[in-house]
Structure 1
Amino acid sequence: MKFQSQGLISLNINGDIYDYKLYQSLESLSRTRSQRKSAKELNISHTVFNRRILKAEDKLGFKITQKVGNGTILTREGLDLLEEFQKYIVKIEKTNNLNIAGGHISTGLLESIKHPFNTNIYSSSDKDAFELAKRGAVDILTLDDPLIAYERDIDFTPIAYDYLVLISSPECEEIKNISDLNDLNFVNVTGSAQRLAWTTLRHYDINYNIRFKVNSQFDAFKMVRNSKNLHCFLNASYFKGNDILKFDTRHVISLVKVNEDKSEVDEFIDFLLNDGQEDIKNQGFTPI
């Protein structure tokens, strides 16, 4: 797939132009996980919203959304498309807005919080966002897992707590005890806080088999739910599952100040640590 930027905020993908309306739809859907809620947010009908998505999928030749329970989430391809839009925004934005980049969980949280700041939020993996931060392309780096900061002795500010839940294939037997995890097959999400689950299993001398590795928690969820004998550990703030390792996998969602000369950076973080904590709680995270 070949991407080229066109106009203020549109992309040329294999000769077809995808404009700001599609970007708005994908960005909203990534937060609400509901076509109806996104349609209401964008002040259009659900029919128009759905048609916009279907038209884009028909032109692209692949699915960019998928049904999950009563909601709708972006596929890996949909997330990639949204990221391309967001990368372009970061490149062309020359205002005083706060440019923020980070993992899907932490940026999803920030996008859901009502605040008085003008922000551009780029969602990717912790690793990719860290590369942007090293180049000075963003003002704030958000981390789904503080490991990158720990490894490099970088100061970070916790803004919320999260933990991991066990997601299992529909046909699997219910897991009631940690010993029931012995010899099970798992999907590993690269760069996620899953490292805490693997450390815990080793601590309890539980043998586990990593059968697949993916880059997205949403890909892992889809893979597990469509299989007969797979499991994975995903963030409780986004997924409902078995909280058997709740206390062992508790971790912080954090921010790193990249541009310390910008006064809005400290103001934004201060807001999140005070007035924003109620919204953080409402989004399924544990406040600091």
Structure 2
Amino acid sequence: MKLKSKGLISLDINGTIYDYKLYQSLESLSRTKSQRQSAKELKISHTVFNRRLLKAEEKLGVKITQKVGNGTILTREGLDLLEEFQKYAVRIEKTASINIVGGHISSGLLETIKHPFNTNIYSSSDRDAFELAKRGAVDILTLDDPLIAYERDIDFTPIAYDYLVLISSPDCDEIKSINDLNGLNFVNVTGSAQRLAWNTLKHYDIEYNITHKVNSQFDAFKLVRNSSNLHCFLNASYFKGNELLKFDTRHVISLIKVNEDKPEVDEFINYLLNEGQEAIRNQGFTPIQ
């Protein structure tokens, strides 16, 4: 089986990520038994090909290739490495469903949209979802906040806009200006777009205290509504609240195509960008189109 680029597919071995380029090299070398021929097949120089193998061997601490006469073959360790990658490739190629993992807001949006595709959608924090995507276990990664993509220079596809609203405990005084936020206590939601709110408060020299941390916006909402003197910034698409920082916290809900070789993935994304935009609007988001 000749493997192709799988986008974010990779393996985590002892904390080190090995991406598809290494496995392309191993797969080609297992067939050609020649570094020069494999380099030509992959359209890279022999020097780059050889450096790729040496770098992997240095990280792994084992030899994955060995010279035999005028050629090069994979060692037992190299063959085992290739087999692990092939397991991931086969897992994705054989599933008929589009497997999607992403942040609570973005994955929740996709779960509510009616469409003609067979999907499996899993909800997590953006960073936990990204770790799953790196292992090639899904076809599409969705992000509540594109920060992860920005940090790694990864292309993403915006499908909607959202912004943050201020949620306060029932007995708190009404917030009328940004200066009223000075000295207040807030709940932080890990991996959410709240960074935009914190950056805005810092820009205006507003002092604030983060007294609680949770992993879900829904947990944050319950905590704030059942407490006294607590506040939180949550997505306007799911929660009604004070729009004080509406324009400062506007951000995109986006997708990253992980599996490049499944036609249904492109079809699903095209659907969301066209016919699905009205359904996105109906769910409280601002459409891209």
| Superposed pair shares fold, TM > 0.5 | yes
5 Å matches for 1:84-163? 95-163=95-163
* Structure label with greater radius of gyration: 2
Structure 2: gaps of 5 or more residues:
1-90
Distance 1:205 1:224 in 2: 24
Please report how far the alpha carbon of residue 92 of structure 1 lies from its aligned counterpart in structure 2 after TM superposition: 11
Written as runs of structure 1 = structure 2, the 5 A alignment for 1:158-169 is 158-169=158-169
Q: Contact 2:92 / 2:138 at 8 angstroms: preserved in 1?
A: no
Paired with 1:125 and 1:228, the residues of 2 have a C-alpha distance of 27
Aligned residue number for residue 254 of structure 1: 254
Counterpart position of 2:178: 178
Q: Partner of 1:101: helix, strand, or coil?
A: strand
2:93, 2:190 → 1: CA distance?
30
Partner of 2:280: 280
Deviation at 1:228, TM superposition (A): 1.1
| Residue 229 of structure 2: aligned partner | 229
Runs of 4+ in 1 over 6 A off after TM superposition: none
1:195 maps to which residue?
A: 195
Q: Alpha-carbon deviation of 1:94?
A: 5.3
1:137, 1:283 → 2: CA distance? 28
1:38-66 Cα offsets, whole Å, 9 max, x none, are xxxxxxxxxxxxxxxxxxxxxxxxxxxxx
Whole-Å separation in 1 of the counterparts to 2:217 and 2:244? 18
1:95: Cα distance to partner? 2.8
For residues 106-163 of structure 1, the C-alpha deviation after alignment (integer angstroms, 9 at most, x for no partner) is 0110011111111010111111111111000000000000011000000000000000
Q: Which residue of 2 aligns with 1:270?
A: 270
CA contact (8 A) 2:187 2:214 kept: yes
Distance 1:285 1:267, change over 3 A: same
Question: What is the identity, as a one-letter code, of the residue corresponding to 1:150?
Answer: Y
- Aligned 8 A contact 2:92 2:139 in 1: no
Cα root mean square deviation, aligned? 1.4
Distance (Å, rounded) in 2 between the aligned partners of 1:130 and 1:219:
21
Which residue of structure 1 lines up, in the alignment, with residue 239 of structure 2? 239
SS at match of 2:266: helix
Distance 2:182 2:114 in 1: 43
Hey, what's the Cα distance between the residues in 1 that align with 2:269 and 2:93? 21
Aligned length: 198
CA–CA distance in structure 1, aligned partners of residues 196 and 226 of structure 2: 25
The residue that corresponds to 1:7 in the other structure is: none
* Deviation readout 1:245-264 (Å, 9 max, x if unpaired): 00000000000000011111
| 2:182 and 2:206 in contact (8 A); partners too | yes
5+ residue gaps, structure 1, are 1-90
